[in-house]
Homo-oligomer: A and B are copies of this chain.
Amino acid sequence: MTTSKISLSALRVACSNCNLRELCLPLRLSLKEIERIEDMVSTRKRIKRGEALYRTGDHFDNLFAIRLGFLKSTVMSSDGREQVTSFHMAGELVGLDGIASDVHSCDVIALEDTEVCVLPYERMLEITTSMRSMGQHFHKILSREIVRQHGIMLLLGSMHAEERLAAFLLNLSQRFESRGYSRSEFVLRMTRAEIGSYLGLKLETVSRVLSRFSHDGLIQVNQKHVQILNATGLRAIVSGQQPLDGEEPFDDDIRLDP
């Protein structure tokens, strides 16, 4: 009995052992509650690099928790323009777009071989409507996504190319760090074109700005390999301050009214 249970959960899911637990479930849960959540995870699924987890128009049945890998979400306009709306890393939840109308409204593509936990929304609904804490937690996940997108709108609506890229690199850095990887050295899983799409820039601009950062000693780039040398400098760029270069000692800088 006990044995079979242990072996079962070990075989099947074992959220309780998952090193991503803190990312998926940032709540204090009792063991009993965790068990219920483990019941929710029906299967795992592997997606090879370049393949789709789902596509626009697919019926929505499941949410997905990323165990391992890297994906992008893209939306496409009627005339074929594509926009990358986000990059997803281990521990993040994907598929929220489908809840709105039971049909997915974006493509999610693996940028490297990826493994996800499949969470049937029906079961999620049972849990969120029977455990108040999980109901609230799920609301928070959705709301967090809304708030995150506010930040992207700010970026797309009011930042220059350099500011966008600096913000992008810092964001990646922070996310890698919170997953236990180096915050100063990582590999970009996406192409320049995909970065550009995400940031509202053309791939040439992305390349040029990265080169400029590299030339200014802020980062070191070699194809997909990036090393952050001066995070403070990047942060200054995001805040709109020009890095004090060459012969121009920064005089009293730009005040925006309080």
Give A residues with C-beta under 8 Å from B: 75, 77-83, 85, 96-101, 105-106, 125, 128-132, 135-136, 138-140, 142-147, 149-154, 156-159, 197-200, 239-241, 256-257
Contacts and interface: CB of A to CB of B under 8 A. Distances in A.
Contact of A144 (B82, B100, B197): B100
A153 B152 contact: yes
A129 B82 CA distance: 38
Contact of A142 (B98, B143, B197, B256): B143
The prevalent SS among residues of A at the interface is: helix
A239 B105 contact: no
A80 B158 CA distance: 11
B97 A146 contact: yes
A132 to B, nearest CB: 5
A146 B142 contact: yes
B129 A135 contact: yes
Closest 9 pairs (CB-CB, A-B): A99-B143, A157-B200, A156-B156, A142-B142, A80-B256, A100-B143, A83-B154, A149-B149, A100-B144
B153 A75 contact: yes
Contacts of A81: 154, 158-159, 240, 256
Contacts of A77: 154, 158, 239
A238 to B, nearest CB: 8
Given A97-B147, A105-B150, 11 more contacts: A75-B151, A81-B154, A83-B154, A97-B146, A100-B146, A106-B150, A125-B139, A128-B128, A129-B129, A139-B142, A156-B156
22 contacts: A75-B154, A77-B239, A78-B239, A81-B158, A82-B158, A96-B143, A96-B146, A97-B150, A99-B140, A100-B140, A100-B143, A100-B144, A100-B146, A100-B147, A125-B135, A125-B136, A129-B131, A138-B139, A146-B149, A149-B150, A157-B198, A157-B200
A136 B147 CA distance: 20
Nearest to A239: B79
Contacts of A82: 158
Given A97-B150, A128-B135, A197-B157, A240 B143 contact: no
Contacts of A99: 139-140, 142-143
A79 B159 CA distance: 11
A121 to B, nearest CB: 9
Contacts of A101: 140, 144, 147
B143 A153 contact: no
